[in-house]
Amino acid sequence: MTVPLTIALPKGKILSRALSLLEQAGIDTGEVAGDGSRRLIFSSRDGLVRYVLAKDSDVPVYVEQGAADVGIVGQDVIEEMDRDVYEPLQLGLGYWRLVVAGPVNVDHKPMRMWPTVRVATKYPRLARQYFVSQGLAVELIPLHGSIELAPILGLADLIVDVVETGRTLQENGLVEWETIMACQACLIVNRASHKMRLAEITHLIEALSRVIAQQNSDKGPVAGDAGPPILSSFPEEKNGASSINE
């Protein structure tokens, strides 16, 4: 019996982009998120892949622990979670930045002159690293979402958060002050799976790489032009590292 390759996907805004990339690479995504249901586990129609939908910050945890063989998640999350996984491929899927942002009506003067600086963020590790590198002691206020609320409600002076279009900052009276890092989505791979399921994972990386290269070279439409389903030729795997495979 074929043991499916388990791919962890983030439930956030890059999910639809990741599914599109996988489909373009010839990897069937079945009915993932297509039926409006609350299901969190889906199988490809050919049974070769199992998809699990996780909170983005949990994707590196599932992959490190072998609950998923591979995952797709943003570099911001990978760096924040600091898990022991391979990162073999940058996928694009949009480009965003981790930034320091503050209220539009506050002078952007050197923060070291402020008596205290309270910073709300979903990224306490990266925020701390950044402010330490700047020689600034700040009080971090960890939150889990809608970070832009914190300065509006007086909970924090600044935020460290990701910005893509800039719309959320703008519509909440905030402006970008400093860029901490540029981000895109990456493929991450469990270290044991990389050894045990090398052929499958190599095929997956190669299939995705071909689509990305094609997109980057801007040589025309990619959809439907990625060749036959790559995973269909994968060898049967009986000793995979996925501990939760049926």
Binding stretches for ligand PRP (CB under 6 A):
12-13, 145-148, 161-168
Nearer CB in complex with ligand PRP: 77/226: 77
Nearest approach, Cβ of 166 to ligand PRP (angstroms)?
5
Nearer CB in complex with ligand PRP: 20/65: 20
Nearer CB in complex with ligand PRP: 89/99: 99
Nearer CB in complex with ligand PRP: 14/207: 14
For helices 15-24 and 198-217, angle between their N-to-C axes, nearest 10 degrees: 100
Nearest approach, Cβ of 161 to ligand PRP (angstroms)?
5
Which candidate, 231, 230, 234, 213, places its Cα nearest to that of 222? 213
Residue 91 has φ and ψ, to the nearest 5°, of -105, -10
Query: How far apart, in whole angstroms, are the C-alpha atoms of residue 8 and residue 3?
Result: 15
Nearer CB in complex with ligand PRP: 164/206: 164
Nearer CB in complex with ligand PRP: 31/176: 176
Nearest approach, Cβ of 125 to ligand PRP (angstroms)?
16
Handedness of CA 159, 126, 96, 50 (dihedral sign): negative
Nearest approach, Cβ of 97 to ligand PRP (angstroms)?
9
| 140, 124 contact by CB (below 8 A) | yes
Query: How far apart, in whole angstroms, are the C-alpha atoms of residue 202 and residue 186?
Result: 15
Question: What number of residues does the chain have?
Answer: 246
Which helix (H) or strand (E) segment holds residue 46: the answer is none
Which helix (H) or strand (E) segment holds residue 153: the answer is none
Query: How far apart, in whole angstroms, are the C-alpha atoms of residue 245 and residue 22?
Result: 21
Nearest approach, Cβ of 12 to ligand PRP (angstroms)?
5
What is the number of the residue whose Cβ is closest to ligand PRP? 145
Nearest approach, Cβ of 158 to ligand PRP (angstroms)?
14
At position 223, the amino acid (one-letter code) is: A
